[in-house]
């Protein structure tokens, strides 16, 4: 099991390019199940989670390949698939649940393991199931699996309003509705850029999806879809993580390939914290300058401040000249990184959803343990800012969502290396 060793206190400077978005690539690759044939998805990051999705489709009798450029994924979907997502794969990646909608819509049945618990929260899938049931799917839970089937061989268009905004829930039901008979109206939908990218990929397959990116999505079901040919959007969370690195004191980083409109809530908070941000050709330049200023942050569904940036932003606020209040509203247990940041000398107290971050002048390096994907990215950032050596253990969490992050940071001057623990 690898660990990351970071020698901190070295100013970062230079340009780094963002990879494709994990959280768009996963549902888009799963959308291949909606149509027989040869699918091509470009700008796909080479990540552990994407490989897991590949193994899942292979288990269903699809042929999954990667192009020479390591950025193109090909999927050959045969005439018949094995519509099953086994526990051993689903337990390693909750997002596997997005195969459920395509399978029941295209093949009339599916057997998908319930995703287990998660470090950041309970994360039920009740909204996914309620949405599919609204489209006429019959669902039973047996032996840890969701057994789903379309009793009339095909799902039926319907109106469904999500109780709460859910990203993969919206994606699952939207994909199912693409092949349902008639019109579907979805309300209180997630508006994340990844939902929009999936809708565009579906429309490229011949689907008729309108309104993605708003709270209301309208889908006119079609008989069949043609194979995918789509390029995935840039990863706004990877971009955000690199922008926070640039906003740390003394740094000057240009992030290329990111989409400005996906980052507004984060950019506003980075500017409040004193970073100077300027658009440049093909990206954004962020300069950290001196000690950050405090800023209150409240996470919310898009276009609000992304929960997937909360931990990274907390690192910047931990060095601020004053106190900040961070409120996590999306997940009920997303402060695992706080205990580890305290080991580096941060002064953070947590009470339920609210964390009070009292800024300290410096952090000092120490061995720390990653608990989940974004927490691990925050610990790497904290190690870069801290004096001395930080060892981040369990970096397998990091590799789920960052494509060899250390290889992107070293050209900026970071002293970071991966070591087999
Ligand atoms: C997606 O997860 C992302 N994952 C997460 O990113 C991200 O944190 C999250 O959206 C919120 O932005 C992918 O896209 C693969 P939700 P998802 O359903 O879809 C509750 C990362 O770091 N809920 O929008 O699973 C749920 O418990 C990951 O890349 C229900 O109650 O999140 C949570 O509190 C981590 N019932 C809230 O809604 C449901 O049926 C939002 O969850 C579904 C969700």
Confidence of residue 76 (pLDDT cuts 50, 70, 90): very high
Return the pLDDT at 121: 84
167 CA to centre of ligand 1 in angstroms: 6
Average pLDDT (40-64) is 97
Is a pLDDT exceeding 90 seen at residue 119?
no
Question: How does pLDDT run across 345-389, given as a tens digit for each residue?
Answer: 999 999 999 999 999 999 999 999 999 999 999 999 999 999 999
Mutate which of 48, 92, 164, 378 for ligand 1? The one with the most ligand atoms within 8 Å of its CB, which is: 164
Q: Which atom of ligand 1 is nearest to the CA of 127?
A: 40
- Do 31 and 228 contact (CB within 8 A), yes or no? yes
Confidence of residue 289 (pLDDT cuts 50, 70, 90): confident
Closest to 134 (Cα-Cα) out of 96, 160, 102? 160
Q: Count of CB atoms within 10 A of residue 286's CB?
A: 25
Closest to 65 (Cα-Cα) out of 34, 107, 32? 32
Measured by CA distance, the residue closest to atom 24 of ligand 1 is 166
Question: How does pLDDT run across 230-246, given as a tens digit for each residue?
Answer: 999 999 999 999 999 99
Q: Which atom of ligand 1 is nearest to the CA of 331?
A: 34
Return the pLDDT at 267: 98
Q: Which atom of ligand 1 is nearest to the CA of 95?
A: 15
Mutate which of 23, 215, 310, 332 for ligand 1? The one with the most ligand atoms within 8 Å of its CB, which is: 23
191 CA to centre of ligand 1 in angstroms: 12
Is a pLDDT exceeding 90 seen at residue 117?
no
Residue 419, judged by CB atoms within 10 A of its CB (0-12, 13-18, 19+), counts as exposed
Measured by CA distance, the residue closest to atom 41 of ligand 1 is 166
420 CA to centre of ligand 1 in angstroms: 31
Is a pLDDT exceeding 90 seen at residue 171?
yes
Is a pLDDT exceeding 80 seen at residue 210?
yes
Measured by CA distance, the residue closest to atom 30 of ligand 1 is 124
> What's the predicted TM-score (pTM) here?
0.98
Beta pairing partners, 208: 220
Is a pLDDT exceeding 90 seen at residue 135?
yes
Mutate which of 198, 330, 377 for ligand 1? The one with the most ligand atoms within 8 Å of its CB, which is: 330
Is a pLDDT exceeding 90 seen at residue 211?
yes
Average pLDDT (152-176) is 97
Which residues are near ligand 1 (CB < 6 Å)?
Answer: 23, 26, 95, 121-128, 164, 166-169, 190, 194, 307-308, 330-331, 373-374, 401
What positions carry a catalytic annotation?
Answer: 118
Measured by CA distance, the residue closest to atom 42 of ligand 1 is 166
121 CA to centre of ligand 1 in angstroms: 9
Please state, rounded to an integer, the average pLDDT across all residues of the chain.
97
264 CA to centre of ligand 1 in angstroms: 20
Is a pLDDT exceeding 80 seen at residue 116?
no
Question: How does pLDDT run across 296-332, given as a tens digit for each residue?
Answer: 999 999 999 999 999 999 999 999 999 999 999 999 9
Q: Which atom of ligand 1 is nearest to the CA of 306?
A: 12
Distant-in-sequence, close-in-space partners of 60: CB < 8 Å, separation ≥ 6:
33, 81, 82, 83, 84, 85, 99, 103
123 CA to centre of ligand 1 in angstroms: 7
Return the pLDDT at 161: 98
Which helix (H) or strand (E) segment holds residue 174: the answer is helix 167-178
Average pLDDT (58-62) is 98
Return the pLDDT at 242: 98
Alpha-carbon torsion, ordered 413, 259, 274, 365, to 10 deg: -40
Q: Which atom of ligand 1 is nearest to the CA of 120?
A: 35
Return the pLDDT at 421: 73
Q: Is 41 helix (H, G, I), strand (E, B) or coil?
A: strand
Measured by CA distance, the residue closest to atom 1 of ligand 1 is 167
For β-strands 109-113 and 145-149, DSSP reports them as antiparallel
Is a pLDDT exceeding 90 seen at residue 118?
no
- Do 374 and 237 contact (CB within 8 A), yes or no? yes
Average pLDDT (166-181) is 98
236 CA to centre of ligand 1 in angstroms: 16
Mutate which of 56, 168, 337 for ligand 1? The one with the most ligand atoms within 8 Å of its CB, which is: 168
């Amino acid at each position: 099991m690898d660990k990351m060793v970071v020698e901190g206190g070295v100013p970062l400077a230079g340009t780094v390019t963002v990879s494709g978005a994990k959280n768009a690539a996963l549902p888009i690759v799963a959308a291949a199940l909606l149509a027989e044939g040869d699918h091509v998805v470009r700008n796909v990051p080479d990540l552990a989670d994407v490989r897991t999705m590949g193994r899942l489709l292979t288990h269903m009798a699809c042929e999954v390949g990667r192009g020479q450029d390591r950025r193109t994924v090909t999927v050959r979907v045969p005439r018949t698939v094995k519509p099953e997502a086994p526990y051993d794969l689903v337990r390693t990646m909750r997002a596997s649940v997005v195969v459920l909608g395509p399978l029941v819509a295209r093949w009339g049945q599916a057997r998908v393991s319930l995703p287990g618990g998660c470090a950041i929260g309970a994360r039920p899938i009740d909204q996914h199931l309620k949405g599919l049931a609204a489209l006429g799917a019959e669902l039973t839970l047996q032996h840890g699996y969701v057994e789903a089937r379309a009793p009339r061989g095909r799902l039926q268009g319907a109106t469904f309003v999500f109780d709460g905004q859910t990203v993969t829930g919206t994606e699952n039901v939207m994909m199912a509705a693409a092949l349902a008979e008639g019109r579907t109206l979805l309300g209180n939908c997630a508006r994340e850029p990844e939902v929009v990218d999936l809708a565009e990929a579906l429309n490229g397959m011949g689907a008729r999806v309108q309104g993605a990116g708003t709270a209301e999505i309208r889908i006119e079901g079609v008989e069949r879809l043609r194979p995918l040919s789509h390029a995935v959007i840039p990863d706004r969370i990877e971009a955000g993580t690199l922008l926070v690195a640039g906003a740390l004191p003394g740094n000057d980083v240009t992030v290329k390939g990111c989409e400005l409109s996906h980052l507004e809530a984060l950019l506003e908070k980075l500017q409040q914290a004193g970073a100077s941000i300027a658009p440049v050709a093909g990206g954004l330049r962020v300069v950290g300058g001196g000690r950050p200023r405090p800023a209150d942050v409240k996470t919310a569904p898009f276009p609000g401040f992304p929960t997937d940036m909360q931990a990274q932003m907390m690192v910047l606020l931990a060095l601020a000249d004053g106190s900040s209040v961070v409120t996590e509203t999306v997940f009920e247990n997303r402060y695992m990184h706080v205990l580890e940041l305290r080991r580096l000398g941060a002064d953070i107290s947590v009470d339920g959803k609210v964390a009070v971050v009292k800024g300290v002048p410096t952090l000092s390096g120490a061995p720390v343990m990653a608990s989940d994907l974004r927490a691990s990215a925050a610990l790497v950032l904290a190690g870069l800012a801290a004096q001395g050596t930080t060892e981040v253990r369990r970096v397998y969490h990091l590799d789920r969502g960052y494509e060899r992050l250390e290889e992107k940071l070293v050209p900026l001057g970071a002293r970071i290396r991966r070591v087999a623990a």
